[in-house]
C-alpha cells in the first residue's frame, strides 16, 4: 500500500479534460501538492493510505476555478458607483476615489477581502490588474492562493508610478523579486488603448518580451471606445494593437464586447485570448461579447468577474451560468455554450490564457492539486441526473465547502485557514466609513 499526503473520496469528479467526462464514486490522491491518481473509491481503499483523508460522498470535485480578470483591491469599492456608463463610472467616481484612497494599506485590505470572497466561491487562481503589485504579491505569498499579478502600464501618474517609463522600471523590479515564485506569475498590464500611447505600447512590448511576460489589457469594452478610436486615428483598437505587433498567444484581451468579422479574423489569426466578463458588461451596459462566434473560430475564451466595483461580486459560478444563458439568447440556439464549455472557460481555458495549463486548470495526474469541493446533497441541487448541469445552472457559491491550492487546504468546511475573516470584516468597515465621506462631499 502506498502512503500519500491526502486522499479525497467524493461522490463525483469532473476533471474537465476530456470534455463531458464525469467520474462517479472516485477519489483523488495527492502527494507533494500534485495529483498522483484519480481512481474509483473501492480501488483507492486498497491502494493508498493517507496522512489526511477526506470523505465527501455527497460532494462534486472540480478543478479550482480561475478568475481570469480582476481588480482585487477594488472590492473595497463594491457598490460605490452604480447605474452609470463606463465613462461616467470611471471619470466621475472610480478614478477620483482611487486618487483619494489607493495606497499600500488599501491594496492589502482590499485584496484580503477579495481573496476571502474568491476562496469561498471556489476560485483558486486569479489574474489581477491594479496598483502596488509588489504589495499584493507579498500578501498572496502569505495566503497561498495562485495568482497572476498585473504590472500596470499607463501614460498618466497614479499612486504607483509617474509615467510609462516609471511603471516599466517598477515592473522589472517586481519581476526580479517574484519571478521564481511557485504560485505567482506576472503579466504586463497596459490598462487600455485609450490610456496608453503607441510609444508606451512599443516599450511595454519590448519589456514583456525581455521578461517573457503575457500581456493583459482591456480592449473593445464599449462602443464609445471604438468610436473615439476611429475619430482619432481611423483605426479600431484591435487593428491598432495588431499594427503594433501586440496581438499574439501572449495577449489576453478583456471584454471584447463589440467585434466585427475583421476583428474576429485578427483574433483567430494571431491566437489572441479573449477574457469574457458577462456580468460586469451587463451592469455597465457595455455590450455583449460574441462568444459563440469566437469559439467557432477556435479562439480561446476564458471567464473573469472584473472587479467587485462593477459586478458587484467575485462569483465565477455565477459568471458560468450568465455566460451560458447570454450565449444561447444572443445566438438563438440552445446548443450554444454547453455546460462542458462553460466549465472549461472557468478552468482550463483560463489556465491556457495565463500560460499555466501545464500546471492547473484540470484534474489530471501530474498537475497541481488545485481543487474545489461542492456540496450537492442540498435541496437546491436535487434531483441529480447530471452533476455538470447542476453545477452550471443550479449551484450557488454557498455550496462550496472546501478548496485546495497545490494540495494546501485553504478553505475547510467553509472556514478560511490562512485568513482571519473577523479582521477582514473590521478593516472593511473602517474603509467603508472613510470612503463614505467622499460620497457625502460629492453629493
Rounded Cα distance, 150 and 362, in Å? 23
Exposure b/e, 45-74, CB count within 10 A at least 16 = b: eebbebeeebebebbbbbbbbbbbbbbbbb
Q: What is the dihedral of CA 179, 314, 351, 212, to 10 degrees?
A: -30
Q: Cell digits for 134?
A: 509588489
Q: What is the pLDDT of residue 440?
A: 62
The arrangement of secondary structure in 65-354, i.e. its CATH architecture, is Alpha-Beta Barrel (3.20)
Straight-line distance from the first to the last Cα atom of the chain, in angstroms, rounded to the nearest whole number: 69
Inter-CA distances, 1 with 34, 44, 232, Å = 19, 10, 69
Least Cα distance to 249 among 272, 219, 225 occurs for 272
Length of the chain: 443
Own/partner pairs, 224-227, CB within 8 angstroms, 24+ separation: 224/85, 224/86, 224/87, 225/192, 225/193, 225/194, 226/258
CA distance 48 to 241: 52
Asked if the bond preceding 290 is cis, omega within 30° of 0, the reply is: no
List where CATH 2.30.40.10 sits in the chain.
2-63+361-412
What homologous superfamily does CATH list for 2-63+361-412?
Answer: Urease, subunit C, domain 1 (2.30.40.10)
d(CA 3, CA 7): 10
Cα–chain center distance at 319: 11
Report yes or no: 229 and 193 within 8 Å, Cβ to Cβ. yes
Q: Which part of the chain is CATH 3.20.20.140?
A: 65-354
Helix axes 198-211, 164-178, angle to 10 degrees: 10
d(CA 148, CA 160): 18
Averaged pLDDT in 10-residue chunks for the chain of 443 residues: 96 96 98 98 95 98 98 93 79 83 96 98 98 97 98 95 96 97 98 96 98 98 94 96 98 97 98 98 94 97 95 96 97 95 98 98 98 97 96 97 98 98 97 82 57
Amino acid at each position: 500500500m502506498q502512503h500519500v499526503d491526502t486522499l479525497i473520496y467524493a461522490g463525483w469528479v469532473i476533471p474537465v479534460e476530456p470534455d463531458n467526462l464525469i467520474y462517479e464514486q472516485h477519489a483523488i490522491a495527492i502527494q507533494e501538492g500534485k495529483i498522483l491518481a484519480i481512481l474509483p473509491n473501492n480501488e483507492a481503499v486498497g491502494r493508498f493510505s493517507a496522512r489526511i483523508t477526506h470523505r465527501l460522498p455527497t460532494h462534486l470535485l472540480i478543478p479550482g476555478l480561475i478568475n481570469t480578470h480582476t481588480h482585487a483591491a477594488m472590492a473595497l469599492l463594491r457598490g460605490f458607483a452604480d447605474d452609470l456608463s463606463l465613462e461616467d463610472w470611471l471619470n466621475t467616481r472610480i478614478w477620483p476615489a482611487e486618487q483619494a484612497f489607493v495606497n499600500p494599506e488599501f491594496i492589502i485590505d482590499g485584496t484580503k477581502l477579495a481573496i476571502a470572497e474568491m476562496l469561498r466561491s471556489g476560485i483558486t487562481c486569479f489574474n489581477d490588474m491594479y496598483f502596488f503589485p509588489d504589495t499584493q504579491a507579498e500578501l498572496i505569498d502569505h495566503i497561498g492562493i495562485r495568482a497572476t499579478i498585473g504590472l500596470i502600464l499607463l501614460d498618466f501618474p497614479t499612486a504607483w508610478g509617474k509615467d510609462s517609463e516609471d511603471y516599466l522600471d517598477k515592473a522589472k523590479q517586481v519581476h526580479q523579486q517574484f519571478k521564481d515564485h511557485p504560485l505567482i506569475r506576472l503579466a504586463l498590464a497596459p490598462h487600455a488603448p485609450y490610456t496608453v500611447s503607441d510609444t508606451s505600447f512599443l516599450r511595454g512590448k519590448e519589456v514583456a518580451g525581455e521578461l517573457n511576460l503575457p500581456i493583459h489589457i482591456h480592449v473593445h469594452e464599449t462602443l464609445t471606445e471604438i468610436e473615439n478610436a476611429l475619430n482619432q486615428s481611423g483605426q479600431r483598437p484591435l487593428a491598432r494593437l495588431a499594427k503594433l505587433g501586440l496581438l499574439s498567444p501572449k495577449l489576453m484581451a478583456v471584454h471584447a464586447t463589440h467585434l466585427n468579422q475583421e476583428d474576429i479574423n485578427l483574433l483567430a489569426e494571431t491566437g489572441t485570448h479573449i477574457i469574457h466578463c458577462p456580468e460586469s458588461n451587463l451592469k455597465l451596459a457595455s455590450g455583449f461579447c460574441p462568444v459563440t462566434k469566437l469559439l467557432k473560430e477556435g479562439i480561446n475564451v476564458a471567464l473573469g468577474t472584473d472587479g467587485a466595483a462593477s459586478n458587484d461580486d467575485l462569483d465565477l459560478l455565477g459568471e458560468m451560468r450568465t455566460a451560458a444563458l447570454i450565449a444561447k439568447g444572443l445566438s438563438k440556439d440552445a446548443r450554444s455554450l454547453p455546460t462542458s464549455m462553460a466549465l472549461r472557460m472557468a478552468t482550463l481555458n483560463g489556465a491556457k490564457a495565463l500560460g499555466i495549463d501545464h500546471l492547473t486548470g484540470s484534474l489530471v495526474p501530474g498537475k497541481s492539486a488545485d481543487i474545489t469541493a461542492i456540496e450537492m446533497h442540498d435541496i437546491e441541487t436535487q434531483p441529480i441526473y447530471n452533476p455538470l448541469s447542476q453545477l452550471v445552472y443550479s449551484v450557488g457559491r454557498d455550496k462550496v465547502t472546501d478548496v485546495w491550492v497545490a494540495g494546501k487546504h485553504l478553505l475547510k468546511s467553509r472556514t478560511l485557514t490562512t485568513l482571519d475573516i473577523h479582521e477582514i470584516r473590521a478593516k472593511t468597515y473602517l474603509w467603508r466609513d472613510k470612503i463614505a465621506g467622499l460620497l457625502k462631499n460629492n453629493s
